[in-house]
Structure 1
């Protein structure tokens, strides 16, 4: 679901509704105003892609009673409560009964924006998960395997769907731990081969003297210790998919034999001259550019061209934005089921640290972090349970900083020429008033300064 959730504002004071709606519109939200709970509940039944911001002190049905109604409607609907008469017991009760946050009036605009953004992200996770659980088509299979909604992952979903039905040999590129094995499994499960074997072998973890016997099998007496006939991984995958991870580490002798299999779709076991037909799809994964290392003589160029009918590239986790939070939630739920423990709440400071960490180990590191978070233990490297760790926000590089400085100078010059008149400055800059207000807030510019 790409559209951001609507913010439903509930308050019995029309002036308060107008004030919040105007402020949130300028911040890029899509607000809807409700003077009471009945119309809100009707709206939410038809529009689940929403979050709720409600006052506590209202006639007839107050905010706490409304919270109970909303919990009955949808227990995972994010509700932010606010009150001018708030106290600690009230806030504690609200959080215990399901509110995601409790804010005291007058509410700081920056704090409100931050909490509503978090609530929107949470709602997107929930609705995306529900879509994956309800749908059983190929698209749902792919999205269930490859979790995320960032532009790079959405494009990857589409590519997987196309290649799954094309049934061609495929190369998958990505950094260590980025989930190449998960993409390979998605390709298999979304294809017509899904009811046949998916056989995976990690070429980097296999001793060089064993990889050929593992891949191609052998006859009794083919070498010392070969006491009986053994079927190889390629033969076992017939009808289905063979996944070769870290293929760049495969010995050159094995590469020659694999090339023949790909060309002829047949193999000979070690110690045999009998040809065995195999019907397989080969998916190979590598963290290195196979063409580049082939040109250096470290990988057979003819095998690279034979494998490279199609290729997919996985973005590293650090480039996937809010997918980090969605994936962390996903792996926390899996860990909670596996360890039979309740998943701890993921607070705002947890989300900030997750988003600002560089994730050198990619999705594999994130999954380990989720396991430790659910178990409440620390480990080597990044851990949400270690409060002593501070993850600074990434600094802008020199080019981005120059762009920001240039943009700020343009806005300052236009505001000065317009004597602080927002409409005139926005027209000169060819942008909307809303966009100009947002950029002024970003650069901490006050229109009164330019009027003076």
Structure 2
């Protein structure tokens, strides 16, 4: 990390914040002020290159509670605590729980500056070590799964890289179809858990009377129909990642049991009192703001706080600019391989329609449209071909003939470019040799014709 870590100052007294910020800025430190500890936690997800200087006595979340949250987020993050009511037991507790120093107010400027410089050197060393340990494969995995080059997606790539290695429970927010499952998979595949299970469960698709047995497992005889012991999804994910999609729909009874698992990292199967240790990372996804949902009594607030060690917010597709075209081409190529068909040309009028559509279904909708585009069929809602070319005016039989003529022309051009070499032509067309031979037979094409 070429840049020196920023000093994040946390104090509920604005005058104290201004005083510390002015002093440290004059000494050459880059500072950021927070009068609310929860705002700091959000900031650190985007800017991990920091040192935290925090007061102890604050409302809502005090310095010791903040220290505990920061330890969960990143145990190597340097935290310096200050208090005007400090005593030896408090200082001892703070150091034991992970603070690198405890200073009593009024703080000597020279002592504070020296402590912060030490903390900066420590943080810089930690991040440099992590950067070296991150293989290029980790970044490539994320960029391959989370496709896009817009600024918001580039920033998301960086956030995923940091959180993948932090190995903390994470919340993912985003509209329906925005790719929350893809980001969860990227967090797993770029982490040290990649060689262990990734178990996904959609809470919204699971009947309420089955979700607890699915998650926690059960013993024989635990309920009517339970004839033999069954391992639950949480136990199956041990060593790896448990992905809970649409967690806002989870019944409150299951939320209570899940909270206990997250707190103790152990579970009891239904019908058993035996505690089974589990080593899991939980990634939960929601289209709703869980804090607001909790305040309405529809989601447990303590479970929200336990899950919300870190969070990611996914942008809707309509805010991603030219990523729309990149994603459409990407999914067209995948569809062409899956359906063993050539990929149709994406023309200027197609691009214009793609960029000006609102995409209420986000990436999932775009992927479905790409499938239909490759198959040459229409569907409900948005259509790329509707009123875009004169082909739309053709009767169905002539439309099919036009498509066949176009397909034949593509194959002829590829065989001509490849000088009749079947392997090279098939590669250009993104289809198997077997499929190419079948289509050549259909169109009565002989590879020898193109050898000259």
Matched residue, 1:182? 182
**Distance (Å, rounded) in 1 between the aligned partners of 2:166 and 2:350:** 42
Q: Distance in 2 between matches of 1:209 and 1:387?
A: 49
1:55-94 correspondence to structure 2 within 5 Å? none
Match of 2:261 in 1: 261
Which whole-Å CA distance do the structure 1 matches of 2:291 and 2:363 have between them? 25
Q: Secondary structure at the match of 1:137?
A: helix
Matched, 1:192 2:192: yes
Q: Aligned partners of 2:192 and 2:249: how far apart in 1?
A: 30
Q: Is the 8 A contact 1:170 1:283 kept in 2?
A: yes
Paired position in structure 1 for 2:372: 372
Give how far 1:312 is off.
Answer: 0.1
Query: 2:166, 2:332 → 1: CA distance?
Result: 34
Q: 1:372, 1:378 within 8 Å by CA — same for their partners in 2?
A: yes
Aligned to 2:283: 283
- Asked whether the equivalents of residues 247 and 285 of structure 1 are also in contact (C-alpha less than 8 Å), the reply is yes
What is the CA distance between 1:388 and its match in structure 2?
Answer: 6.3
Unaligned runs of 5+ in 2: 1-134, 390-452
Q: SS at the partner of 2:212?
A: helix
1:44-55 maps to which residues of 2 (within 5 A)?
none
1:385 Cα shift?
Answer: 2.6
Deviations 1:321-369 (A, max 9, x none): 0000000000000000000000000000000000000000000000000
Q: Secondary structure at the match of 1:242?
A: strand
Question: Which residue is 2:227 aligned to?
Answer: 227
* Contact residue 242 and residue 281 of structure 2 kept, 8 A: yes
Alpha-carbon displacement from aligned partner over 1:155-177 (angstroms, at most 9, x marks no partner): 00000000000000000000000
CA distance in 1 between counterparts of 2:216 and 2:301 reads 21
Equivalent position of 2:203 in the other structure: 203
2:274 matched to 1:274?
Answer: yes
1:356 counterpart residue number? 356
Name the structure 2 match of 1:214: 214
Give the CA deviation at 1:211. 0.2
Shift of 1:136: 5.6
Deviations 1:213-259 (A, max 9, x none): 00000000100111110000000000000000000000000000000
Aligned-partner SS, 2:201: strand
Give the TM-score, by structure 1 length.
0.56
2:349–2:388 CA contact under 8 A, matched in 1: no
Cα separation, 2, equivalents of 1:147 and 1:221: 47
Please list every run of 5 or more consecutive structure 1 residues that lacks an aligned counterpart in the other structure: 1-134, 390-452
Instruction: Please give the alpha-carbon distance, in whole angstroms, between the structure 2 residues aligned to 1:333 and 1:222.
Output: 49
Separation in 1, partners of 2:314, 2:356: 20
Task: Indicate the SS of the match to 1:214.
Answer: helix
- Alpha-carbon offset, residue 387 of structure 1: 2.4
Aligned residues: 255
Please tell me whether the aligned partners of residues 203 and 249 of structure 1 are also in contact (alpha carbons under 8 angstroms): yes
The match for 1:305 is: 305
Question: How far apart are residue 137 of structure 1 and its match?
Answer: 1.2
- In the alignment, what sits opposite 2:344? 344
Alignment of 1:239 onto 2:239: yes
The alpha-carbon deviation at position 386 of structure 1 amounts to 2.2
Q: What corresponds to 2:386 in structure 1?
A: 386
State the TM-score, normalizing by the size of structure 2. Answer: 0.56
Q: 2:150, 2:332 → 1: CA distance?
A: 20
Contact 1:377 1:385 (8 Å CA) reproduced: no
Distance 1:226 1:373 in 2: 47
2:176 counterpart SS class: coil
Do the aligned residues in 2 keep the contact of 1:198 with 1:242 (CA within 8 Å)?
A: yes
